Amino acid sequence: MVLALSSCRTSYLSRPPRLGFIVRPSHQFLSFLLCPGLQIPRLSVLCAQPRPRAMAISSSSWELPLVAVCQVTSTPDKQENFKTCAELVREAARLGACLAFLPEAFDFIARDPAETLRLSEPLGGNLLGEYTQLARECGLWLSLGGFHERGQDWEQTQKIYNCHVLLDNKGSVVATYRKTHLCDVEIPGQGPMHESNSTIPGPSLESPVSTPVGKIGLAICYDMRFPELSLALAQAGAEILTYPSAFGSVTGPAHWEVLLRARAIETQCYVVAAAQCGRHHEKRASYGHSMVVDPWGTVVAHCPEGPGLCLARIDLRYLRQLRQHLPVFEHRRPDLYGTLGHPLP
């Protein structure tokens, strides 16, 4: 187990799977900025070594809900991918997480559109059934962040949806969101991506869903480039935005963390981003760097290189204090620039 501790990300070796932890910087300055005497917990992630006295944490912080963010390297082999994901989910349950996030294309990453269509399944297929059983077995919620779904219009369209599925701890599907922004781009050095060759854009957003860790707004990867979506989810009550992804090796270093932190800051939400990493096959590789960002824009958990998981505690009291003392949504001026993110019905 590799633990990355503190902002300098020092690590030591024990046993797999790998877990990543980042200690959030002291909130002394933030507390002073918001309100003298305001008490904000200084840590929101697990830590595996004794803390310096200055970083002491009240026992109540350990009662905050724990989330696990899983990082994998999917291939065209669906059963091997499931074995890898199931191992991480079971480890997350063992460590006390109540919700585990899996990345976009957790089910598989194919070599071409024809293989993508051939490997796809309906939501009622065998693979999702295995994840339903896994959620029940482990007793935790699962964010399945980008399932290649054969929808009800499969026979007519011969195309699929990129579907974010949320399961509760009994294995029931409580929400589905179909990716609305498809990644049709050509980035020099990264290779072309034409998601619309095999995928239909989703018709709507999904209202935020109440979970044991807070209200979650569902999105997928390329959606993070469109702040209108995150603003709409925040105005509809989201406290956590989730962007399961398979970012490329060129756009990743340049944009990944910047975009995630921007979405967190502008919406004052936690942002959870489970990511694909490494080389999937000879045609594709992903950037990795799964992370959790708090509403202040601080990266509070981060996966090291390779498959593994990181853990973070979600502190909704901290989120509400921040929104109270920095009430940006009350200060918006739609009379000047319109409503960028229309509230969901």
Q: Among all residues, which ones are annotated catalytic? A: 104, 179, 221
Element spanning 321, H or E? helix 316-325
- Specify the DSSP class assigned to residue 5: B
Separation CA 186–CA 197 (nearest Å): 14
- C-beta of residue 112 within 8 angstroms of C-beta of residue 193: no
What are the C-alpha distances in Å from 240 to residues 195, 221, 324, 334? Answer: 26, 15, 17, 24
**Tokens read off for 195:** 């998601």
Sign of the dihedral through C-alpha 114, 248, 224, 297: positive
Sheet holding 173-178, edge to edge: 18-20, 308-313, 66-71, 99-102, 141-149, 161-167, 173-178
- C-beta of residue 62 within 8 angstroms of C-beta of residue 312: no
Sign of the dihedral through C-alpha 288, 291, 296, 300: negative
Separation CA 70–CA 90 (nearest Å): 11
- Longest CA–CA span in the chain (Å) reads 64
Separation CA 321–CA 329 (nearest Å): 14
- Specify the DSSP class assigned to residue 51: P
Residue 276 neighbours by CB under 8 Å, 6+ apart: 71, 72, 73, 74, 103, 104, 105, 109, 245, 246, 247, 286, 288
